[in-house]
């Protein structure tokens, strides 16, 4: 088969595929058929053109001169002179200095004025990064995602439960892990009084980049962050033992209220989540 | 007949015939690797076409809706309108899924084509005078493409994209002094903030694409103005261009390549499922899935964040958080070096002359070795970003895998560059051609110290 | 009119009779058969009374199982994770060493030793797929990944893929928290919610893949590999084909 026939065959196959594509679409569509038929349609045209081009376009080598890109000295000199002449007309003369200075000041001020609208894009960072809704009204019950309060007896040993302050289950900075630790293992935490019957509460947000540290290896008491593999030891104040996180997960001090439900007695002991410039101030 | 009348019509009004005649005769040097940049261009065109289609259906809003579409496992679930419209595109808009998937594959391959093109230009010395400006524009295009890819990945508001946004937020937060302000202004408040999806949408479909179009035009115009580089060969000199004419040979090749690119992307989009957001579920800031990764072009940053030791700088109540080092500093150094490379190389080698004949990589062993070492460095970073997938696929300890990459990150580049250097020299020896290294290692340091002029060629006494 | 309830009662009684499992053929009493099997296959590590056993050096060979309950015994035996040939070994899924009847006998015996979680009843057909998906993403995907394909944990541990698990095994694992897995009690997941989760896990065995080949459903990493090792070679191949001259053409051109 000569090249022209091969090219025509490619174009014809492409056209047929295009018709088939229409049929597939009209009959409700199917992603795989659509993708493949589109590939044949587009590929048929491409292949046809290439076969055609290889067979019938001139392939003789053509040589074109490459002229120097730079202009001649005279042209450059004429340009710079024209520029300088204009500049002189503007700048030279008595009192021009004042005009120049005030023009510069106006442009600077205008640039600065344009920056103000940017301020509207977001609120002042302030204390938001250092506080969570736990601190709004203390003590506050911790509740599950559907708002149920939690009793210690509801938590079997080695279980973990994600909780929020009551009324704030949508708060992105407040998810907290309740973990019932094993009674036969030493538990060292920042605030021992904040542990109720082996139930300890830590912020769920990784201190590296804020991913939820949701992987609990109960046997070893390790919390692992799936984003960058930071690992925290639940039995040792949630201190980091591996990975890029440099700080422990902040602890939430717990107690029980009169009805036996778990409550937070204070906000987290440190700002939760990733670090930032003035975190320690 | 019609063509002639049209040409006359236009010429009588704009006087274009002379210019157009020159354009048709323009000569393109003939090497297949010179068309890799075009691959990136065609991926971009397909991104624009499929992306425009997607905008007709996508709703960039963080308003809560209840999903009522046809994907049963999520019916009745509360989610943002953005995620719901992504599901509709996937299940209820006819041809929506294939468009979405072609768009995503085109994005992955757009970036890949840019990187391959960049490597071609780097290893052949195509960035040297007078093409430094176009190199700078090209690197800018790479940066814009990376940002736009990330913005697109983040729009759908599924669990994976939300995790990515959270990481982007934390990285912004880690910038010393300005971080908290920048993060608040970008997200409209504390993460997740009310505005990020709609803002990213404008960035993704308008601001960055417009910038890419402008810079791409400049990139191509500069190529036309400066004429393409060529490889050495019979009749090929610094003051000529040898190749094929634009019309009809090169034009047909280019159009053919566009359609073949479309074919490959359609094939991938139809056959390989990409980013199945319906499995990931709507974003919830308290949830995350194992194996959360960014797309490949951000993978090296994610990997660098994984192998970074847990250092932070804290003093006087201020701190430089850990993510700053891998995600801001490393990225800054990476792109800073990329931007500066043509100028650095010219300074170190003292070779500031215009070059239109390309190097063969083997003839420049030092540059080639450095390039391979760099690719090795970022390759290890990328693999580290897949550490958890690697360890679960091959049954290894993720800690051991990450430690191996920590070691490999520093061991591989020198080894790879040494091997490349030797290989280049061996290849040149076998070809019987000299290496065209314009500078010896022992001359580099004094030259760096003194600036431009090469020191007098006093034969240095051997160090050993 | 008064006959109908009576008929229903009789039918119920009949159904009840049918539902009572037949006595184990060999040993008669399943608990006794279970004890025999336990002493034979389990007691060397878990102790004759289920209190665990130590080796000569005083290291625990196997943990106490007296309070493991039905659910744990069923999970470990049904998934073949127990018995282990060697107590150092990590339990992994393999073909069960006992047949179903023997497992039932062992489960009954272990349950009689103490006080542990019972085997949760799951009615997958009646469960709520959507709620199951929500609970799965809340509680399970962190370790097992959104697609249930498993994930890496620290120090060589891994969360297994969920596709091989049968509904009753998944349900038992939720309550037991085998190995590294945390325990999910009634507070975290009610009995109905366990069934919902199990239904979603079953769905994940063969989810809708409208986009084509799922390439592992492991997210951007396999996607990146397909891009670089299939997409890029295809594109470069096309470029190479276009950018090189065909030798045939050269010969023809010289004619």
How far is the C-alpha of A249 from the C-alpha of A208, rounded, in Å?
A: 10
Predicted pLDDT at B1: 76
Summarize the confidence of residues C82-99 as an average pLDDT: 83
Predicted local distance difference test score (pLDDT) of residue B268: 98
What pLDDT sits at residue B444?
A: 58
- The confidence score (pLDDT) of residue A91 equals 85
Report how far residue B380's alpha carbon sits from residue C56's, in angstroms, rounded to the nearest whole number.
Answer: 47
> Is some CB atom of chain B closer than 8 A to the CB atom of A226?
yes
Same domain, yes or no: C131 and C192? yes
CA distances from A110 to A91, A97, A115, B211, B403 (A): 22, 20, 9, 24, 53
- What is the mean pLDDT of the segment spanning C214-225? 92
Distances from the Cα of C189 to the Cα of A145, A149, B284, C124, C139, angstroms = 12, 14, 19, 15, 9
Residue C223 lies in a domain: no
Q: Give the pLDDT band (50/70/90) at residue C2.
A: very low
Q: Cα B390 to the chain's mean position, in Å? A: 24
Answer whether residue C148 is part of any domain: yes
C83 & C103 share domain: yes
What does the pLDDT average to over C196-212? 94
Measured CA to CA, the distance from residue A81 to residue A92 in angstroms comes to 15
Across the interface, which of B112, B276, B396 has its CB nearest the CB of C227? B112
Q: Which of B30-39, C44-53, C93-102 has the lowest mean pLDDT?
A: C44-53
Beta-bridge mates of residue C151: C159
Question: Which chains have 3 or more CB–CB distances shorter than 8 Å to chain C?
Answer: A, B
Give me the helices (H) in chain A, please.
3-26, 31-56, 73-91, 96-119
Q: Which long-range contacts (CB under 8 A, 24 or more apart) does B45-53 make?
A: B45/B258, B46/B102, B46/B106, B46/B261, B46/B262, B46/B265, B47/B103, B47/B106, B47/B107, B47/B110, B48/B209, B50/B99, B50/B100, B50/B102, B50/B103, B50/B106, B51/B103, B51/B205, B51/B209, B53/B99
Residues C72 and C31 in one domain: yes
Residue A242 with chain B: CB contacts under 8 Å: 399
C215 falls within a domain = no
B301 vs C121, more confident: B301
pLDDT in tens, A3-17: 999 999 999 999 999
How confident is the model at residue B84, as a pLDDT? 97
Q: So what's the ipTM on this one?
A: 0.94
Partners of A141 in the β-ladder: A263
Q: Beta strand pairing status for A176-180 and A62-65?
A: unpaired
In 3-state terms, what secondary structure has residue A241? Answer: strand
**pLDDT exceeds 70 at position B443:** no
Same-domain pairing of C83 and C104: yes
Give the DSSP letter string of B26-88.
Answer: -EEE--GGGGHHHHHHHHHHHHHHHHHHHHTT------EEE--SS-GGGTT-EEEHHHHHHHH
Of residues C7 and A229, the one with the higher pLDDT is A229
**CATH number reported for the structural domain that contains residue C140 in this entry:** 1.10.760.10
Residue B204: pLDDT over 50: yes
Question: Domain limits at C166?
Answer: 124-204
Q: Do C137 and B289 touch (CB under 8 A)?
A: yes
Residues C144 and C194 in one domain: yes
The whole-angstrom separation of Cα C253 and Cα C247 is 10
Structure tokens at A129: 């990064």
Chain B residues in contact with A34 by the CB 8 A cut-off are 95, 98, 270
Q: What is the pLDDT of residues A187-204, one digit of tens each?
A: 999 988 899 999 999 999
Please check the confidence at residue C145 and state whether its pLDDT lies above 80. Answer: yes
Single residue among C112, C144, C159 that ends a domain in this structure = C112
B363-420 pLDDT, tens digit per residue, is 999 999 999 999 999 999 999 999 999 999 898 999 999 999 999 999 999 999 999 9
Plot region of C47 (φ>0 → left; ψ -120 to 50 → alpha; else → beta):
left
Q: Into how many domains does chain C fold?
A: 2
Is residue C234 predicted with pLDDT exceeding 50? yes
Question: Is the Cβ of A279 closer than 8 Å to some Cβ of chain B?
Answer: yes
Q: Chain C residues with CB inside 8 Å of A46's CB?
A: 238
Do residues C130 and C101 share a domain? Answer: no
Tens of pLDDT along B257-306?
999 999 999 999 999 999 999 999 999 999 999 989 999 999 999 999 99
Average pLDDT value for chain A: 93
Do A176 and A203 touch, CB atoms closer than 8 A?
yes
Work out whether the CA dihedral C163, C164, C166, C168 comes out positive or negative: negative
Whether B20 has a pLDDT exceeding 80, the answer reads yes
Please list every residue in chain C whose beta carbon sits closer than 8 Å to the beta carbon of residue B294.
Answer: 220
Residue A80, token pair as written in the block: 């710079």
Query: How confident is the model at residue B463, as a pLDDT?
Result: 39
Given a contact cutoff of 8 angstroms between Cβ atoms, the answer to whether C175 and B416 are in contact is no
pTM for the model: 0.92
B219 pLDDT more than 70: yes
Q: Are residues C129 and C107 in the same domain?
A: no
User: Among partner residues A31, A148, A150, which is closest to C211 by beta-carbon distance?
Assistant: A31
Q: How large is the average pLDDT for residues A154-161?
A: 91
Q: Are residues C134 and C108 in the same domain?
A: no
pLDDT of B132 reads 97
Percent of chain C with pLDDT over 90: 40
Answer whether C153 sits within 8 Å of B35, measured CB to CB: no
SS3 A130: coil
Give the number of other Cβ atoms within 10 Å of residue B363's Cβ: 22
Question: Domains of chain A, with CATH numbers?
Answer: 3-61+69-121 (no CATH), 131-276 (2.102.10.10)
In angstroms, what separates the C-alpha of C156 from chain A's closest C-alpha? Answer: 12
pLDDT for B153-180, tens place per residue?
A: 999 999 999 999 999 999 999 999 999 9
pLDDT for the residue B449: 56
- Is the predicted pLDDT of residue C174 greater than 90, yes or no? yes
In a domain, C54, yes or no: yes
- The answer to whether residue C235 is domain-embedded is no
Domain final residue pick, C112, C141, C159:
C112
- Distance from B86 to chain A by nearest Cα, in Å? 15
Same domain, C93 and C130: no
Stretch C131-144: mean pLDDT: 95
> Is there a contact between A218 and C177 if contact means CB atoms under 8 Å apart?
yes
Residues C51 and C98 in one domain: yes
Q: Determine the pLDDT at residue B450.
A: 55
Rounded to whole angstroms, how far apart are CA atoms C148 and C8?
43
If you average pLDDT over residues B189-197, what whole number do you get?
Answer: 92
Give me chain C's average pLDDT, please: 82
User: What confidence tier does B207 reach under pLDDT thresholds 50, 70, 90?
Assistant: very high
End of a domain among C171, C188, C204?
Answer: C204
In this prediction, residues A33-46 reach a mean pLDDT of 97
Set of chain C residues whose Cβ sits within 8 Å of the Cβ of A55:
249
Lowest model confidence (mean pLDDT) among B24-28, B34-38, B351-355, B458-462: B458-462
pLDDT score at B457: 43
Task: Looking at B359-397, list the stretches that DSSP marks H as alpha helix, in order from N- to C-terminal side.
Answer: 365-385, 387-394
Q: Given A118, A214, A244, which is nearest B308 (Cβ)?
A: A244
Q: What is the share, in percent, of chain B residues with pLDDT greater than 90?
A: 86
CA distance A135 to C60: 45
CB-CB contact of B270 with A36 (8 Å): yes
Residue B301 to residues B105, B160, B170, B290, C227, Cα–Cα distance (Å): 20, 16, 13, 18, 18
The answer as to whether C212 is a domain residue is: no
pLDDT for res C40: 84
Distance of alpha carbon C66 from alpha carbon C68, whole angstroms: 6
Residues C88 and C155 in one domain: no
φ/ψ of A201, rounded to 5, equals -120, 130
Residue C99 forms part of a structural domain: yes
pLDDT at B368: 96
Identify whether the C-beta of residue C218 lies closer than 8 Å to the C-beta of residue C147.
yes
**Is the CB of residue C41 less than 8 Å away from at least one CB of chain A?**
no
CA distance B411 to chain A (A): 20
Q: Are residues C128 and C97 in the same domain?
A: no
pLDDT score recorded for residue C254: 34
pLDDT at C20: 39
Secondary structure of C22-39 as H, E, C letters: CCECCCECHHHHHHHHHH
Does residue C239 lie within any of the structural domains? Answer: no
pLDDT band at B218 (very low <50, low <70, confident <90, very high): very high
Q: Which chain A residues are closer than 8 Å to B175 by Cβ? A: 277
């Amino acid at each position: 088969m000569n090249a022209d026939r091969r090219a025509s065959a490619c174009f014809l196959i492409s056209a047929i595929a295009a018709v088939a594509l229409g049929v597939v679409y009209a009959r409700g569509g199917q992603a795989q058929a659509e993708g493949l038929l589109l590939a044949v349609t587009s590929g048929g045209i491409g292949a046809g053109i290439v076969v055609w081009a290889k067979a019938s376009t001139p392939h003789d080598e053509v040589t074109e001169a490459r002229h120097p890109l730079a202009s001649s000295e005279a042209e450059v000199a004429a340009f710079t002179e024209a520029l300088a002449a204009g500049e002189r007309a503007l700048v030279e003369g008595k009192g021009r200095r004042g005009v120049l200075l005030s023009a510069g000041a106006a442009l600077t001020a205008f640039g600065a004025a344009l920056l103000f609208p940017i301020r509207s894009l977001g609120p002042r960072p302030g204390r938001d990064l250092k506080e969570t809704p736990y601190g709004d009204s203390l003590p506050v019950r911790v509740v599950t995602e559907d708002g149920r309060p939690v009793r210690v007896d509801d938590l079997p040993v080695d279980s973990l439960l994600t909780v929020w302050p009551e009324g704030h289950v949508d708060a992105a900075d407040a998810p907290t892990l309740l973990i019932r630790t094993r009674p036969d293992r030493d538990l060292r935490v920042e605030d021992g009084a904040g542990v109720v019957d082996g139930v300890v509460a830590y912020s769920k947000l990784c201190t590296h980049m804020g991913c939820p540290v949701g992987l609990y290896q109960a046997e070893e008491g390790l919390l692992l962050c799936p984003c960058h593999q930071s690992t925290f030891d639940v039995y040792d104040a949630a201190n980091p033992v591996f990975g890029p996180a440099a700080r422990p997960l902040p602890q939430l001090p717990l107690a029980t209220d009169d009805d036996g439900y778990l409550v937070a007695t204070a906000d987290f002991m440190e700002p939760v989540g990733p670090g930032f410039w003035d975190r320690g101030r | 007949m019609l063509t002639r009348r049209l040409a006359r019509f236009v010429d009588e009004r704009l006087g274009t015939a002379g210019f157009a005649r020159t354009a048709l005769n323009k000569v393109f040097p003939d090497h297949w690797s010179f068309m890799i940049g075009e691959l990136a261009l065609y991926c971009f065109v397909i991104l624009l076409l499929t992306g425009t289609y997607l905008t007709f259906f996508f709703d960039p809003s963080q308003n809560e809706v209840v999903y009522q579409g046809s994907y049963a496992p999520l019916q009745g679930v509360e989610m943002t309108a953005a995620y719901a419209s992504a599901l509709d595109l996937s299940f209820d808009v006819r041809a929506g899924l294939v468009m979405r998937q072609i768009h995503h594959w085109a994005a992955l391959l757009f970036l890949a084509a840019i990187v391959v093109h960049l490597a071609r230009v780097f290893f052949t010395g195509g960035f040297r005078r007078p093409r430094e400006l176009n190199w700078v524009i090209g690197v800018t295009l790479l940066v814009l493409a990376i940002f736009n890819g990330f913005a697109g990945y983040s729009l759908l508001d599924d669990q994976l994209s939300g995790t990515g946004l959270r990481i982007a937020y934390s990285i912004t937060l880690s910038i010393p002094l300005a971080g908290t302000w920048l993060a608040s202004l970008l997200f409209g408040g504390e993460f997740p903030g009310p505005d990020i999806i709609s803002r990213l949408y404008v960035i993704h479909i308008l601001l960055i694409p417009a910038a890419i179009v402008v810079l791409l035009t400049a990139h191509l115009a500069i190529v036309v103005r400066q004429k393409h580089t060529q490889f050495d060969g019979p009749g090929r000199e610094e003051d000529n261009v040898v190749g094929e004419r634009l019309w009809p040979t090169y034009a047909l090749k280019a159009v053919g390549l566009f359609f073949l690119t479309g074919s490959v992307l359609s094939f991938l989009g139809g056959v390989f499922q990409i980013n199945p957001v319906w499995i990931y579920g709507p974003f919830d800031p308290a949830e995350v899935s194992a194996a959360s990764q960014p797309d490949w072009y951000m993978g090296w940053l994610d990997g660098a964040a994984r192998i970074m030791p847990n250092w932070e700088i804290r003093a006087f109540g201020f701190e430089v958080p850990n993510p700053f080092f891998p995600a801001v500093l490393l990225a800054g150094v990476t792109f800073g070096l990329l931007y500066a490379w043509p100028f650095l190389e010219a300074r170190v080698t003292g070779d500031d002359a215009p070059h239109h004949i390309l190097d063969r990589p083997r003839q420049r062993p030092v540059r080639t070795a450095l390039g391979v070492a760099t690719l090795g460095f970022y390759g290890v970073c990328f693999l580290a970003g897949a550490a958890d997938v690697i360890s679960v696929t091959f049954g290894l300890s993720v800690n051991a895998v990450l430690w191996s990459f920590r070691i490999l990150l520093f061991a591989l580049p020198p080894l790879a560059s040494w091997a490349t250097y030797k290989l280049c020299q061996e290849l040149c020896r076998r070809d019987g051609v000299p290496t065209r290294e314009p500078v010896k290692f022992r001359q580099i340091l004094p030259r760096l110290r003194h600036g431009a002029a090469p020191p007098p060629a006093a034969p240095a006494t051997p160090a050993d | 009119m008064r006959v109908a309830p009576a008929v229903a009662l009789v039918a119920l009684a009949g159904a009840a009779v049918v539902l009572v499992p037949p006595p184990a053929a060999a040993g008669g009493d399943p608990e006794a058969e279970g004890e025999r099997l336990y002493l034979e296959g389990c007691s060397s590590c878990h102790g004759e009374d289920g209190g665990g056993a130590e080796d000569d050096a005083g290291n625990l060979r196997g943990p106490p199982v007296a309070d493991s309950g039905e659910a744990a015994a069923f999970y470990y035996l049904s998934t073949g994770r127990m018995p282990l040939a060697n107590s150092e070994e990590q339990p992994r899924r393999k073909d069960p060493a006992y047949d179903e009847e023997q497992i039932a006998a062992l489960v009954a015996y272990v349950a009689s030793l103490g006080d542990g979680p019972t085997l949760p009843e799951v009615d997958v057909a009646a469960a709520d797929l959507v709620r199951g998906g929500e609970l799965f993403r809340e509680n399970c995907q962190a370790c097992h990944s959104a697609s249930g394909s498993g994930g890496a944990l620290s120090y060589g541990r891994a969360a297994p893929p969920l596709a091989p698990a049968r509904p009753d095994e998944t349900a038992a694992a939720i309550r037991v928290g085998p190995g590294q897995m945390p325990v999910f009690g009634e507070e975290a997941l009610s009995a109905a919610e366990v069934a919902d989760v199990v239904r979603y896990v079953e769905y994940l065995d063969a989810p809708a893949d409208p986009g084509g080949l799922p390439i592992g459903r492991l997210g951007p990493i396999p996607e990146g590999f397909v891009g670089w090792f299939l997409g890029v070679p295809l594109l470069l191949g096309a470029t190479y084909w276009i950018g090189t001259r065909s030798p045939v053409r050269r010969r023809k051109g010289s004619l």
